[in-house]
A and B are shown apart, each in its own frame.
Chain A
Amino acid sequence: MSEIAPKELRIVGFLCNWCSYGGADTAGVSRFRQPTDLRVIRVPCSGRVDPLFIVKSLLNGADGVLVSGCHPRDCHYTDGNFYARRRLEMLKRLLPFLGIDEKRFHYTWISASEGARWQKTVTDFTTQVHKLGPLHSTTEAQIGS
Chain B
Amino acid sequence: MGPEKLKEVIKEALKDAEVVIAYKEGFDKLHSTPCFVTTPEEADAVIFDPRCVQNLASYLPSLKKKAAVVVKGCDSRTIVQYMQEALIDRGKVTVIGIPCTGIVSIKKVMAKTGHQPILDVTFPDKNTVVVKTPKGEQKMAMADVAADKCGSCLYPTPVVYDQLVGEPIESDKTYETAYKDVAELAAKSLEEKKAYWEKEFDRCIRCYACRNACPMCVCQDSCIAESRDPHWISQKSNPTEKFMFHMIHALHLAGRCVECGECERACPMGIPVNMLKRKINQDMKELYDYEPGVKPEDKPPMFTFSVEEKKIEEHKL
Contacts and interface: CB of A to CB of B under 8 A. Distances in A.
**Do A and B make up one complex?**
yes
A86 B195 CA distance: 28
B317 interface: yes
A104 to B, nearest CB: 11
B279 A94 contact: yes
Nearest to A87: B302
A106 B314 CA distance: 10
B123 interface: no
Contacts of B287: 89-90
A124 B251 contact: no
B240 interface: yes
Contact of B243 (A59, A87, A124, A125): A59
Contacts of A90: 254-255, 280, 283-284, 287, 302
Interface in B258-288: 276, 279-280, 283-284, 287
Interface string A31-55: 0000000000000000000111001
Contacts of A85: 305, 309, 312
A52 B196 CA distance: 21
A99 B255 contact: no
Contacts, number: 90
Interface in A75-111: 79, 82-83, 85-87, 89-94, 96-101, 106-109
A55 B247 contact: yes
A124 B248 CA distance: 30
A109 B301 CA distance: 21
Contacts of A97: 185-186, 193, 276, 279
Interface string B226-263: 00000010000010100110011011001100000000
A86 B301 contact: yes
Contacts of B279: 94, 97
| B interface: dominant SS | helix
A29 B297 CA distance: 50
B247 to A, nearest CB: 5
A56 interface: yes
B63 interface: no
B292 to A, nearest CB: 13
Nearest to B238: A143
B29 to A, nearest CB: 40
Given A89-B312, A108-B315, A124-B317, A72 B191 contact: no
| Most B CB within 10 A of own CB, among A50, A99, A107, A121 | A99
A85 B307 CA distance: 10
Given A85-B309, A89-B287, A52 B315 contact: no
A94 B283 contact: yes
Interface residues of B, number: 38
B246 to A, nearest CB: 10
A12 to B, nearest CB: 16
B254 to A, nearest CB: 6
Contact of A96 (B190, B195, B247, B284): B190
Nearest to A80: B305
A124 B317 CA distance: 6
Contacts of B191: 99
Contacts of A2: none
Nearest to A95: B190
A113 interface: no
A55 B251 contact: yes
A96 to B, nearest CB: 6
Interface string A62-76: 000000000011000
Nearest to A60: B240
B32 to A, nearest CB: 34
Interface of A: 50-52, 55-56, 59-60, 72-73, 79, 82-83, 85-87, 89-94, 96-101, 106-109, 121, 124-125, 128, 143
Interface of B: 185-186, 190-198, 232, 238, 240, 243-244, 247-248, 250-251, 254-255, 276, 279-280, 283-284, 287, 301-302, 305-307, 309, 312, 314-315, 317
18 contacts: A56-B244, A59-B244, A59-B247, A79-B305, A82-B307, A83-B302, A86-B305, A94-B276, A96-B193, A98-B197, A99-B193, A99-B195, A100-B194, A108-B315, A121-B317, A128-B317, A143-B238, A143-B240
